[in-house]
Amino acid sequence: MGGCLSKPKPVEVKVELTLLDKEKEVDLMSPNGKASPFSECRPNGSLGHCSDEDSMTLRPQRKNRDYIEASVCHIKDLENGQMREVDLGAGRALLIKEHGEFFAMGHKCPHYGAPLVKGVLSKGHVRCPWHGACFNIATGDIEDFPGLDSLPTFQVRVEKEKVIIRANKQALQTQRRSKVMSKCSAVINSSTGFSHVLIIGSGPAGLVCAETLRQEGFTDRIVICTTDKHLPYDRPKLSKSLESTAEQLQLRSSDFFQMHDIEVLLEKEVVSVDVKTHTVTFRDGFKMEYRKLFIATGSRPKPLSYKGKDVGNVFHLRTPEDANSIVTLASSKNAVIIGTSFIGEDIKFTLYV
Report which secondary-structure segment, H or E, holds 324. Answer: helix 320-329
Write down the pLDDT at residue 52.
44
CA distance 246 to 230: 7
CA distance 261 to 296: 20
* Sheet of strand 194-200: strand arrangement: 262-265, 222-225, 194-200, 287-295, 279-282, 270-274
Q: CB burial class (10 A; 0-12, 13-18, 19+) of residue 26?
A: exposed
Q: What is the DSSP letter of 117?
A: G
- Cα 109–111–114 angle (5° rounding)? 40
**How many whole angstroms separate alpha carbon 245 and alpha carbon 254?**
15
pTM score of the predicted model: 0.77
pLDDT (tens digit, 9 = 90+) per residue, 209-250? 999 999 999 999 999 999 999 999 999 999 999 999 999 999
> Is 271 buried (19+), middle (13-18) or exposed (0-12) by CB count in 10 A?
exposed
CA angle 16, 18, 8 (to 5 degrees): 40
Share of the chain above pLDDT 70, in %: 80
Strands 153-159 and 162-168: antiparallel
Distances (CA, A) of 45 to 98, 153, 157: 12, 17, 10
Report all structural domains of the chain as residue ranges with CATH numbers, in order of start: 4-174 (2.102.10.10), 190-295 (3.50.50.60)
Q: What is the pLDDT of residue 1?
A: 42
pLDDT for 300 equals 82
By mean pLDDT, which of 5-9, 203-207, 234-238 is the weakest?
5-9
Mean local confidence (pLDDT), 152-158: 97
Q: Which of 316, 346, 323, 312 is nearest to 245 (CA)?
A: 323
Strand partners, 177: 150
pLDDT digits (tens, 9 = 90+) for 265-289: 999 999 999 999 999 999 999 999 9
pLDDT above 70 (res 22): no
Structure confidence at residue 193 (pLDDT): 75
DSSP states of 178-243 as a string? PPP-----S---GGG-EEEEEEE--SHHHHHHHHHHHHTT--S-EEEE-SSSSSSB-GGGGGT-TT
Confidence band of 189 (pLDDT split at 50, 70, 90): low
